[in-house]
Amino acid sequence: MSDFTAVLDSLTRQRGVRGSLVVSAEDGIPVDSNLQFGQDGNRVAALAASLYRKARKSAQAAGLGGTGFMQLEAETGRLCVIGGDEIILVVVAERTANVGLIRVELLRAAESLA
Amino acid sequence: MIKATVEPWIEEPLRTFVTDAGVSLALLLHPNGQVLAQYGFSRAIDIMSACALAAAIHVSANELGRQLEGKPFSGMHHAGKERQVFLAEAQTKRGPYIFLTVFDEASSLGLVRMYFDEFRVNLAKASPPPPDAPEPMLSENFERELNRNLAALFGRA
Protein backbone atom coordinates (compact mmCIF):
# COMPACT_ATOMS: atom_id res chain seq x y z
CA MET A 1 0.00 0.00 0.00
CA SER A 2 1.50 3.32 -1.08
CA ASP A 3 0.71 6.97 -0.33
CA PHE A 4 -1.38 6.98 -3.49
CA THR A 5 -3.56 3.95 -2.77
CA ALA A 6 -6.42 5.94 -1.20
CA VAL A 7 -6.40 8.46 -4.07
CA LEU A 8 -6.50 5.70 -6.67
CA ASP A 9 -9.23 3.84 -4.80
CA SER A 10 -11.44 6.93 -4.69
CA LEU A 11 -10.95 7.49 -8.43
CA THR A 12 -11.64 3.89 -9.37
CA ARG A 13 -14.81 3.84 -7.23
CA GLN A 14 -16.47 6.28 -9.65
CA ARG A 15 -19.06 4.67 -11.90
CA GLY A 16 -17.63 3.71 -15.29
CA VAL A 17 -13.99 4.08 -14.27
CA ARG A 18 -11.96 1.09 -15.43
CA GLY A 19 -8.65 2.06 -13.92
CA SER A 20 -6.47 4.85 -12.62
CA LEU A 21 -2.77 5.54 -12.44
CA VAL A 22 -0.32 7.89 -10.77
CA VAL A 23 2.46 8.47 -13.28
CA SER A 24 5.83 10.19 -13.11
CA ALA A 25 5.28 13.13 -15.50
CA GLU A 26 8.81 13.32 -16.85
CA ASP A 27 9.54 9.60 -17.18
CA GLY A 28 6.08 8.32 -18.08
CA ILE A 29 6.51 5.45 -15.63
CA PRO A 30 3.67 4.35 -13.33
CA VAL A 31 4.26 5.16 -9.66
CA ASP A 32 1.13 3.33 -8.55
CA SER A 33 -1.95 2.03 -10.31
CA ASN A 34 -5.35 0.46 -9.83
CA LEU A 35 -6.11 -1.36 -13.05
CA GLN A 36 -8.37 -4.09 -14.29
CA PHE A 37 -6.94 -7.34 -15.58
CA GLY A 38 -5.83 -6.98 -19.20
CA GLN A 39 -4.80 -3.32 -19.04
CA ASP A 40 -1.12 -2.66 -19.66
CA GLY A 41 -0.26 0.00 -17.10
CA ASN A 42 3.24 0.64 -18.45
CA ARG A 43 1.97 1.39 -21.94
CA VAL A 44 -0.94 3.53 -20.75
CA ALA A 45 1.38 5.49 -18.44
CA ALA A 46 4.08 6.09 -21.06
CA LEU A 47 1.67 7.18 -23.78
CA ALA A 48 -0.67 9.22 -21.56
CA ALA A 49 2.28 11.12 -20.03
CA SER A 50 3.68 11.80 -23.50
CA LEU A 51 0.28 13.01 -24.70
CA TYR A 52 -0.15 15.26 -21.67
CA ARG A 53 3.34 16.77 -22.06
CA LYS A 54 2.59 17.51 -25.71
CA ALA A 55 -0.84 18.95 -24.89
CA ARG A 56 0.76 21.29 -22.33
CA LYS A 57 3.37 22.39 -24.87
CA SER A 58 0.69 22.90 -27.54
CA ALA A 59 -1.36 25.05 -25.19
CA GLN A 60 1.70 27.10 -24.27
CA ALA A 61 2.71 27.47 -27.93
CA ALA A 62 -0.79 28.71 -28.75
CA GLY A 63 -0.55 31.25 -25.95
CA LEU A 64 -3.27 29.55 -23.94
CA GLY A 65 -1.33 29.20 -20.70
CA GLY A 66 -1.21 26.11 -18.53
CA THR A 67 -3.15 22.91 -19.10
CA GLY A 68 -5.47 21.73 -16.36
CA PHE A 69 -7.54 18.83 -17.53
CA MET A 70 -7.10 16.74 -20.67
CA GLN A 71 -9.68 14.38 -22.07
CA LEU A 72 -9.24 11.95 -24.95
CA GLU A 73 -12.33 10.38 -26.45
CA ALA A 74 -11.84 6.96 -28.00
CA GLU A 75 -14.21 4.50 -29.62
CA THR A 76 -15.17 2.67 -26.44
CA GLY A 77 -13.95 4.94 -23.68
CA ARG A 78 -12.13 8.01 -22.44
CA LEU A 79 -8.76 8.86 -21.05
CA CYS A 80 -8.78 11.71 -18.52
CA VAL A 81 -5.51 13.26 -17.35
CA ILE A 82 -4.65 15.95 -14.86
CA GLY A 83 -1.31 16.86 -13.40
CA GLY A 84 1.66 19.03 -12.80
CA ASP A 85 5.39 19.08 -13.36
CA GLU A 86 6.17 15.97 -11.34
CA ILE A 87 3.13 13.73 -11.25
CA ILE A 88 0.10 13.18 -13.43
CA LEU A 89 -3.11 11.33 -12.64
CA VAL A 90 -4.68 9.21 -15.37
CA VAL A 91 -8.19 7.76 -15.40
CA VAL A 92 -9.34 5.17 -17.93
CA ALA A 93 -13.13 5.34 -18.14
CA GLU A 94 -15.98 3.92 -20.15
CA ARG A 95 -17.64 6.14 -22.73
CA THR A 96 -20.79 6.34 -20.61
CA ALA A 97 -18.93 7.51 -17.49
CA ASN A 98 -19.78 10.95 -16.07
CA VAL A 99 -16.78 13.08 -17.08
CA GLY A 100 -17.90 15.95 -14.86
CA LEU A 101 -17.69 13.78 -11.78
CA ILE A 102 -14.39 12.28 -12.87
CA ARG A 103 -12.99 15.78 -13.41
CA VAL A 104 -14.07 16.90 -9.94
CA GLU A 105 -12.59 13.76 -8.39
CA LEU A 106 -9.34 14.22 -10.34
CA LEU A 107 -9.06 17.86 -9.24
CA ARG A 108 -9.66 16.82 -5.63
CA ALA A 109 -7.08 14.04 -5.92
CA ALA A 110 -4.52 16.37 -7.50
CA GLU A 111 -5.07 18.86 -4.71
CA SER A 112 -4.55 16.20 -2.05
CA LEU A 113 -1.27 15.14 -3.67
CA ALA A 114 0.06 18.69 -4.11
CA MET B 1 24.51 9.96 -46.77
CA ILE B 2 24.88 7.92 -43.60
CA LYS B 3 23.77 4.33 -43.97
CA ALA B 4 22.03 3.13 -40.82
CA THR B 5 22.77 -0.59 -40.74
CA VAL B 6 25.54 -2.98 -41.66
CA GLU B 7 23.01 -5.75 -42.32
CA PRO B 8 19.68 -4.92 -44.04
CA TRP B 9 17.41 -6.97 -41.72
CA ILE B 10 18.13 -4.53 -38.86
CA GLU B 11 17.00 -1.46 -40.80
CA GLU B 12 13.21 -1.73 -40.46
CA PRO B 13 13.07 -2.53 -36.71
CA LEU B 14 15.57 0.27 -36.00
CA ARG B 15 13.75 2.82 -38.15
CA THR B 16 10.44 1.99 -36.44
CA PHE B 17 12.00 2.34 -32.98
CA VAL B 18 13.69 5.66 -33.75
CA THR B 19 10.52 7.12 -35.28
CA ASP B 20 8.18 5.93 -32.53
CA ALA B 21 10.38 6.59 -29.51
CA GLY B 22 11.70 9.96 -30.72
CA VAL B 23 15.28 9.29 -29.60
CA SER B 24 18.25 11.33 -30.78
CA LEU B 25 20.87 8.56 -30.97
CA ALA B 26 20.68 4.77 -31.29
CA LEU B 27 23.31 2.08 -31.60
CA LEU B 28 23.09 -1.68 -32.04
CA LEU B 29 26.25 -3.63 -31.44
CA HIS B 30 27.62 -7.10 -30.90
CA PRO B 31 28.66 -7.77 -27.28
CA ASN B 32 32.28 -7.72 -28.47
CA GLY B 33 31.89 -4.04 -29.43
CA GLN B 34 31.37 -4.42 -33.21
CA VAL B 35 28.84 -1.89 -34.50
CA LEU B 36 25.87 -3.25 -36.48
CA ALA B 37 23.56 -0.25 -36.83
CA GLN B 38 23.43 3.38 -35.86
CA TYR B 39 21.16 6.37 -35.96
CA GLY B 40 22.09 9.99 -35.31
CA PHE B 41 25.89 9.72 -35.16
CA SER B 42 27.87 11.76 -37.64
CA ARG B 43 31.43 10.62 -36.89
CA ALA B 44 32.93 7.12 -36.96
CA ILE B 45 35.13 7.93 -33.98
CA ASP B 46 32.06 8.65 -31.83
CA ILE B 47 30.56 5.30 -32.79
CA MET B 48 33.80 3.50 -31.95
CA SER B 49 33.92 5.14 -28.52
CA ALA B 50 30.23 4.56 -27.82
CA CYS B 51 30.50 0.88 -28.84
CA ALA B 52 33.56 0.28 -26.69
CA LEU B 53 31.92 1.95 -23.68
CA ALA B 54 28.55 0.25 -24.21
CA ALA B 55 30.17 -3.19 -24.45
CA ALA B 56 32.19 -2.51 -21.30
CA ILE B 57 29.16 -1.20 -19.37
CA HIS B 58 27.10 -4.17 -20.52
CA VAL B 59 29.60 -6.75 -19.36
CA SER B 60 30.18 -4.92 -16.04
CA ALA B 61 26.43 -4.56 -15.40
CA ASN B 62 25.91 -8.25 -16.20
CA GLU B 63 28.57 -9.26 -13.70
CA LEU B 64 27.27 -6.84 -11.07
CA GLY B 65 23.77 -8.27 -11.53
CA ARG B 66 25.10 -11.82 -11.17
CA GLN B 67 26.88 -10.91 -7.95
CA LEU B 68 23.95 -9.01 -6.46
CA GLU B 69 20.94 -10.94 -7.68
CA GLY B 70 22.34 -14.11 -9.17
CA LYS B 71 21.37 -13.07 -12.71
CA PRO B 72 22.49 -10.34 -15.13
CA PHE B 73 20.70 -6.98 -15.06
CA SER B 74 18.30 -6.64 -17.98
CA GLY B 75 18.90 -2.96 -18.68
CA MET B 76 20.51 0.23 -17.53
CA HIS B 77 19.26 3.80 -17.45
CA HIS B 78 21.18 6.94 -16.66
CA ALA B 79 19.41 10.29 -16.42
CA GLY B 80 21.55 13.32 -17.10
CA LYS B 81 20.44 16.92 -16.80
CA GLU B 82 19.38 17.22 -20.42
CA ARG B 83 19.91 13.82 -21.99
CA GLN B 84 19.32 10.27 -20.81
CA VAL B 85 20.94 6.97 -21.76
CA PHE B 86 19.22 3.58 -21.96
CA LEU B 87 21.17 0.39 -22.55
CA ALA B 88 19.73 -3.14 -22.78
CA GLU B 89 20.22 -6.50 -24.41
CA ALA B 90 18.22 -7.79 -27.38
CA GLN B 91 18.15 -11.51 -28.15
CA THR B 92 18.09 -12.61 -31.78
CA LYS B 93 18.49 -15.90 -33.66
CA ARG B 94 22.11 -14.84 -34.09
CA GLY B 95 22.63 -14.40 -30.38
CA PRO B 96 22.47 -11.41 -28.04
CA TYR B 97 23.09 -7.85 -29.18
CA ILE B 98 23.48 -4.69 -27.13
CA PHE B 99 21.25 -1.71 -27.77
CA LEU B 100 22.17 1.79 -26.66
CA THR B 101 20.00 4.84 -27.10
CA VAL B 102 20.15 8.49 -26.05
CA PHE B 103 17.06 10.66 -25.68
CA ASP B 104 16.07 14.07 -24.39
CA GLU B 105 12.85 15.73 -23.25
CA ALA B 106 11.21 14.94 -26.59
CA SER B 107 10.87 11.37 -25.32
CA SER B 108 10.74 9.66 -21.92
CA LEU B 109 12.04 6.55 -20.19
CA GLY B 110 8.54 5.05 -20.28
CA LEU B 111 8.27 5.52 -24.06
CA VAL B 112 11.81 4.25 -24.68
CA ARG B 113 11.22 1.13 -22.59
CA MET B 114 7.88 0.48 -24.27
CA TYR B 115 9.20 0.88 -27.81
CA PHE B 116 12.38 -1.02 -26.95
CA ASP B 117 10.20 -4.03 -26.01
CA GLU B 118 8.61 -3.80 -29.47
CA PHE B 119 12.01 -3.31 -31.12
CA ARG B 120 13.34 -6.41 -29.35
CA VAL B 121 10.43 -8.51 -30.68
CA ASN B 122 10.73 -7.07 -34.21
CA LEU B 123 14.49 -7.60 -34.25
CA ALA B 124 14.18 -11.22 -33.11
CA LYS B 125 11.53 -11.84 -35.81
CA ALA B 126 13.61 -10.20 -38.54
CA SER B 127 16.90 -11.84 -37.66
CA PRO B 128 18.07 -14.55 -40.04
CA PRO B 129 19.39 -17.84 -38.64
CA PRO B 130 23.08 -17.88 -37.77
CA PRO B 131 25.48 -18.95 -40.52
CA ASP B 132 26.28 -22.70 -40.59
CA ALA B 133 29.94 -22.15 -39.86
CA PRO B 134 30.30 -18.77 -38.17
CA GLU B 135 33.68 -17.16 -38.50
CA PRO B 136 35.43 -17.13 -35.12
CA MET B 137 35.86 -13.62 -33.74
CA LEU B 138 39.60 -13.41 -33.34
CA SER B 139 41.34 -10.39 -31.92
CA GLU B 140 43.43 -10.06 -35.11
CA ASN B 141 40.18 -9.76 -37.11
CA PHE B 142 38.55 -7.26 -34.77
CA GLU B 143 39.93 -4.06 -36.23
CA ARG B 144 39.38 -5.21 -39.80
CA GLU B 145 35.74 -6.09 -39.02
CA LEU B 146 35.21 -2.83 -37.15
CA ASN B 147 36.60 -0.76 -40.01
CA ARG B 148 34.51 -2.71 -42.52
CA ASN B 149 31.32 -2.06 -40.52
CA LEU B 150 32.10 1.63 -40.02
CA ALA B 151 32.87 1.98 -43.72
CA ALA B 152 29.51 0.38 -44.53
CA LEU B 153 27.68 2.73 -42.15
CA PHE B 154 29.35 5.82 -43.54
CA GLY B 155 29.03 4.89 -47.18
CA ARG B 156 32.71 4.16 -47.78
CA ALA B 157 32.28 0.41 -48.43
Number of cross-chain residue pairs from A and B with Cβ atoms under 8 Å apart: 34
Q: Which of A75-79, A102-106, B103-107, B138-142 has the lowest mean pLDDT?
A: B138-142
The DSSP bridge pattern shows strands A17-24 and A29-34 to be antiparallel
> Is residue B141's pLDDT more than 80?
no
Report the residue of chain A nearest B22, measured CA to CA: A50
Q: What gap in Å lies between CA B2 and CA B42, rounded to an integer?
A: 8
Question: Is residue B135 very low, low, confident or very high in pLDDT (cuts 50, 70, 90)?
Answer: low
**C-alpha neighbours within 13 Å on the C-beta side of residue A66:** 6
- ipTM at complex level: 0.83
- Reported pTM: 0.85
pLDDT at position B134: 65
Q: Identify whether the C-beta of residue A21 lies closer than 8 Å to the C-beta of residue A87.
A: no
Domain ranges of chain A: 5-113
For A84-114, give one letter per residue: b (16+ CB within 10 A) or e.
eeebbbbbbbeeebebeebbebbeebbeeee
Q: What is the CATH number of domain A5-113?
A: 3.30.450.30
Q: Which of residues 78-107 of A touch B (CB under 8 A)?
A: none
Q: In this complex, do A45 and B110 lie within 8 Å of one another by their Cβ atoms?
A: yes
pLDDT at position A92: 96
SS3 state of residue B30 = coil
Residue from B86, B111, B115, B117 to probe the interface with A (highest A Cβ count within 10 Å): B111
- pLDDT, one tens digit per residue, over B21-71 is 999 999 999 999 999 999 999 888 899 999 999 999 999 998 999 999 899
